[in-house]
Amino acid sequence: MALAASTTLSAPAQRVTDVFTNEEFIKHVSFTVGGELKSYEISGPTTGAFTTKTVRTLPTTRMPDIARKVVGDTLTVTQLEEWDAPAADGSRSNRITLTVAKAPLDVTAVQKLSVSGESTLVELTGEVKSSIPFLGAKIAGAAEPVIGKALNLQATLAQEWLNEHP
């Protein structure tokens, strides 16, 4: 199943990068959806190329019954991000990989931050796959809207964070 989301945030790309990789912001996003941040690691300064690893638990209350029967009340999601160094104009991209413990789901995506004046266009494209024969497409189809909503929520919360933390 394909993922696609885009939004414009009223801040330069470096500031958006700093918010997306701020541990307090990541805790805030996790808490907002009823989850909990278990661990967060960043490999270096956000002004160059770097990687992050985020592990969080998330509730399954918004997932279809078929999925909850398989995974239980919570999911442990590991999110790896490989950020490229910024281009000359400040634009950058990162590759995102999500793995879900106890669930046969893999999510891969590319997030691009494009400079647009004093704003940043955030575009995400990706794919949700499940390795279970026969049921895989159904599971991926059920997970795709939940993941899409989570990504859109992150962008909404990022704009609020930018407004509250100048």
Strand order in the sheet with 105-116: 2-9, 119-130, 105-116, 92-100, 74-83, 50-59, 36-42
Whether the CB-CB separation of 39 and 54 falls below 8 Å is answered with yes
Mean pLDDT of all residues in the chain? 85
- How confident is the model over 27-52, as pLDDT tens digits? 999 999 888 999 999 999 999 999 99
- Please report the sign of the dihedral spanned by the C-alpha atoms of residue 49, residue 53, residue 59, residue 63: positive
pLDDT-based confidence at residue 2 (cuts at 50, 70, 90): confident
pTM for this prediction = 0.85
CATH superfamily label, 2-160 = START domain (3.30.530.20)
pLDDT-based confidence at residue 73 (cuts at 50, 70, 90): confident
Going by C-alpha positions, the residue among 148, 112, 104, 113 that lies closest to residue 127 is 148
Quote the CA–CA distance of 83 and 121 in Å, as a whole number: 16
DSSP-derived 3-state class of residue 61: coil
Domain ranges of the chain: 2-160
**Residue 33: DSSP 8-state:** T
Pairwise pLDDT comparison (60 vs 121), residue with the higher score: 121
- How confident is the model over 105-154, as pLDDT tens digits? 788 999 999 999 899 999 988 887 776 655 556 555 665 566 666 666 78
Residues of 112-127 as b/e, b for ≥16 C-beta within 10 angstroms?
bbbbeeeebbbebebe
Going by C-alpha positions, the residue among 133, 81, 141 that lies closest to residue 111 is 81
Amino acid at 120: T
Q: How much is the pLDDT for 128?
A: 79
Pairwise pLDDT comparison (88 vs 148), residue with the higher score: 88
